[in-house]
Structure 1
Amino acid sequence: MKARTALLVLIVALLGYLAFFNFASLAQDVPMSLGFTEIHGPLGLVMLALSALMAAIFLAYVIAMQATWLLEVRSHNKALQAQRELAEKAEVSRFTDLRGALDDKQQQLEKRLMERMDALESHLKARAQESDNVHAAYIGQLEEQLRGKKPEQE
């Protein structure tokens, strides 16, 4: 319990204690002046009733302030939740965009790699064909030399 709450509870308890044990004095009829007229009545009970009315009004004021504060906090929480959801959607969108960009980049790299591999393959085929032709020519020369014909004599 907070110190202010404890102090208020102590004051209310003290007022109740004094009112209970001095009720006879509070209920005595005395002349009361209202400024423009004079009436007879229990001044102590009137003062106690006015104090209770003031306490009730302050209590209602505090409850109204708390209710207003709670509604405001609730409104702020809803706005915060909406902002949080918006941020999460934006983050998901960024991840989706990043995923798409990475997929595009990967496809571009794969295309370039395949083009390069095709170029290397065609170059390799050309070199292999050239090598086959050179070897065939050497074999042809060797065959002619083995048969006894020299290619220079023709």
Structure 2
Amino acid sequence: MSGRTFFALLFLLLLFLFAWLNWGEIAKPTPLSLGLTRVEAPLGLVLVVALAVVSLLYLIFTIGLETAALLEVRRYARELLHYKKLAEDAEQSRYTELRRFLEAELGRLAESEKEEIRALEAQLEEMLEKHSNTLAAYIGELEDQILRLFRSEEQKGGGAG
């Protein structure tokens, strides 16, 4: 309960107490002028009722204002939650997009690495083949030299013996 509502209720309570304590004087009939006519009515009662009606109207107006403010705060809270959800979704989609980008990049890097490995393997095979050919040529040359050496030894040994 707000301070205004509390003071309005306190004022109504004090007004009721005042009317109860002075009921005899308030209820005493008095001639009253209504502009075009005159009536006999208790002036105190008319004034107390008018004051009570105005006070009740003020109380109803205050409660209406507080209710409207509360409803507006709830609406703002719902909007805030909605915008928070939108922001979280946007952030999540950015994370998802970043993840996809990184996965694509890593996939490209892995494919590039595989291609480089294949190229290096091809170069290695080519170098091995060259070196094998060179080694085979050297072995062939050595065999030829060994065979010539054996032949020359046989000729030397065969001619002397």
> Normalising by structure 1, what TM-score?
0.83
Query: How many residues matched?
Result: 150
CA contact (8 A) 2:27 2:45 kept: yes
Alignment correspondent of 1:114: 114
Deviations, residues 69-96 of structure 1 (Å, cap 9, x unaligned): 2332233233223222222222222222
Could you say which structure has the higher helix fraction?
2
Alignment correspondent of 1:141: 141
Distance across 2 between alignment mates of 1:145 and 1:13: 134
* Residue 37 (structure 1) shift: 2.6
Alignment correspondent of 2:20: 20
CA contact (8 A) 2:5 2:62 kept: no
1:110 corresponds to which letter in structure 2?
A
Secondary structure of 1:36's counterpart equals coil
* Residue 43 (structure 1) shift: 0.9
Distance across 1 between alignment mates of 2:141 and 2:14: 131
Higher RCO (Cα < 8 Å, 6 or more apart): 2
* Residue 98 (structure 1) shift: 1.3
Superposed counterparts of 1:1-150, under 5 Å: 4-149=4-149
CA-based RMSD: 2.2
Query: Taking every aligned residue pair, what percent have the same amino acid on both sides?
Result: 36
Distance across 1 between alignment mates of 2:9 and 2:85: 45
Secondary structure of 1:30's counterpart equals strand
Deviations, residues 26-46 of structure 1 (Å, cap 9, x unaligned): 111112222333221111111
1:87 corresponds to which letter in structure 2?
A
* Residue 24 (structure 1) shift: 0.7
Runs of 4+ in 1 over 6 A off after TM superposition: none
**Which runs of 5 or more structure 2 residues have no equivalent in the other structure?**
151-161
Which range is displaced more, 11-20 or 131-140? 11-20
Which structure has the greater CA radius of gyration?
2
